C-alpha cells in the first residue's frame, strides 16, 4: 500500500536552476511601497510567473543595464507631464476669458477682445494637436 502523504517522485512545479556559489545573490536591498504600488508589483510578478523578489531583481537589473534608454524614458515622461500641466493651466485661463466674453456679450456689452480670445483658443487647439502628434510619433518610434 502506497502512502499518499509522501512527496511525489517528481516535483509538480518546475524548479529554477540554482546559482553557483560565485553567482549567488547575497545582497537583499529593500524598498518601501504603498498598498497600491505593492499590489501592482504583485500582479506583474504573477503575470510573469515569478516571485516578487525575482521580478524586482530582474526588472531592476534590466533597467540598470540600459541606463541611457531608461533616462530618456524618464525625461520623456517628465516632459509629457510638464506639457500637460502647462496645457491645463492655459486652457483654464482661456476658459475664464471665454466665460467673461460670453457674460459681456449676453449683457449686450461691446466685447472688443473677442477676436483675441478666439485666436488664443485656436492657438491652444493647435498646440494640443501638435503635442499629441509629437507624442504619438515618438511612441511609435520607441514602442
Tens digit of pLDDT for each residue in 78-97? 777 787 788 888 888 888 88
For residue 85, the model assigns a pLDDT of: 82
Q: Measure the CA–CA gap between 50 and 7, rounded to whole angstroms.
A: 23
- With cut-offs at 50, 70 and 90, classify the pLDDT of residue 132: confident
- Using the CB atoms, write b or e for 85-101: b if 16+ within 10 Å: eeeeeeeeebeebeeeb
For residue 74, the model assigns a pLDDT of: 65
Tens digit of pLDDT for each residue in 6-59? 445 554 555 667 767 777 878 888 889 999 999 998 988 888 888 898 888 888
Q: Measure the CA–CA gap between 45 and 54, rounded to whole angstroms.
A: 8
Q: Measure the CA–CA gap between 93 and 2, rounded to whole angstroms.
A: 80
3-state SS of 27-45 is: CCCCCCCCHHHHHHHHHHH
Amino acid at each position: 500500500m502506497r502512502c499518499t502523504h509522501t512527496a511525489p517522485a517528481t516535483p509538480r512545479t518546475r524548479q529554477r536552476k540554482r546559482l553557483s556559489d560565485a553567482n549567488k545573490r547575497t545582497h537583499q536591498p529593500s524598498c518601501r511601497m504603498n498598498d497600491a504600488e505593492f499590489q501592482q508589483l504583485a500582479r506583474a510578478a504573477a503575470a510573469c510567473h515569478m516571485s516578487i523578489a525575482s521580478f524586482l531583481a530582474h526588472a531592476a537589473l534590466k533597467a540598470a543595464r540600459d541606463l541611457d534608454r531608461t533616462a530618456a524614458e524618464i525625461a520623456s515622461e517628465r516632459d509629457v507631464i510638464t506639457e500637460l500641466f502647462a496645457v491645463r493651466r492655459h486652457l483654464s485661463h482661456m476658459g475664464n476669458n471665454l466665460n467673461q466674453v460670453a457674460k459681456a456679450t449676453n449683457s449686450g456689452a461691446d466685447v472688443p477682445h473677442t477676436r483675441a480670445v478666439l485666436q488664443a483658443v485656436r492657438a491652444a487647439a493647435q498646440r494640443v494637436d501638435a503635442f499629441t502628434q509629437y507624442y504619438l510619433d515618438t511612441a511609435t518610434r520607441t514602442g
